[in-house]
Homo-oligomer: A and B are copies of this chain.
């Protein structure tokens, strides 16, 4: 069992508020998991009796819509806690979490989290702020879905991916998504997404090398979004 005290990602999450003795307690009751690319951490409707702390890798949080398509609601990266909302609401999770890369996650049981909640005010405040941030982002996202067209949303998403997940040495977006997944973020048909990528390519806004995407003209992309 590894030491939470040493874990780097803790600094980026609500858990940074925990005191030394709390960290030791947590290290004793947590469970570490390795999740392979494509595998779920949990799925919509599951009862998750705790939260997962993302230590390494990125996952998509998706919701199956009535028409059978998976909408990607959010991408989660190291430092984020998954399942906070359903833990507080005392409900099954309403989103699935699927690994986009090989991942390392730690499961912290509900009883432990609730203990911190009651005894460490800073920690509960951090969790609350996190959820508030998510709410604001969700509202903004909703407005974009309602008011922007697919081309604008694609441009915005490409910029978001570079901004939040960075680029490789060859300038391609670090986070590799399939066209279907990209379509699932912007909320459109896979073919429409592919078509617009081709259009952006023709306009020299981006470069496509197989699955890899490079942003060539961010100014122009920002104008579109």
Give residues in A with beta carbon < 8 Å to B: 63, 65-67, 69, 71, 73, 85, 88-89, 91, 94-95, 118, 121, 124-125, 128-129, 131-136, 138-148, 186-188
Contact = CB atoms under 8 A, between A and B. Distances in A.
Contacts of A143: 63, 65, 71, 73
B132 A88 contact: yes
10 contacts: A65-B144, A66-B148, A69-B147, A71-B142, A85-B132, A89-B136, A128-B128, A142-B145, A146-B186, A146-B187
B71 A146 contact: yes
A46 to B, nearest CB: 15
A41 to B, nearest CB: 17
Contacts of A128: 88, 124, 128, 131
- Give the most central of A69, A85, A128, A143: most B CB within 10 Å: A143
Nearest to A185: B146
A65 to B, nearest CB: 4
Contact of A118 (B95, B121, B136, B147): B121
B71 A129 contact: no
B187 A66 contact: no
A133 B69 contact: no
Contacts of A138: 135, 138-139, 142
A149 B188 CA distance: 11
Nearest to A65: B147
A224 to B, nearest CB: 11
B148 A65 contact: yes
Given A65-B148, A67-B147, A146-B65, A132 B89 contact: yes
Given A69-B147, A89-B136, A138-B142, 13 more contacts: A63-B140, A65-B147, A65-B148, A71-B142, A85-B132, A85-B135, A94-B139, A118-B121, A124-B128, A131-B132, A135-B135, A138-B139, A146-B188
The 7 A-B residue pairs with the shortest CB-CB distance, nearest first, are: A146-B187, A65-B147, A138-B138, A145-B145, A71-B143, A142-B142, A89-B132
Given A67-B147, A141-B142, A143-B71, A94 B124 contact: no
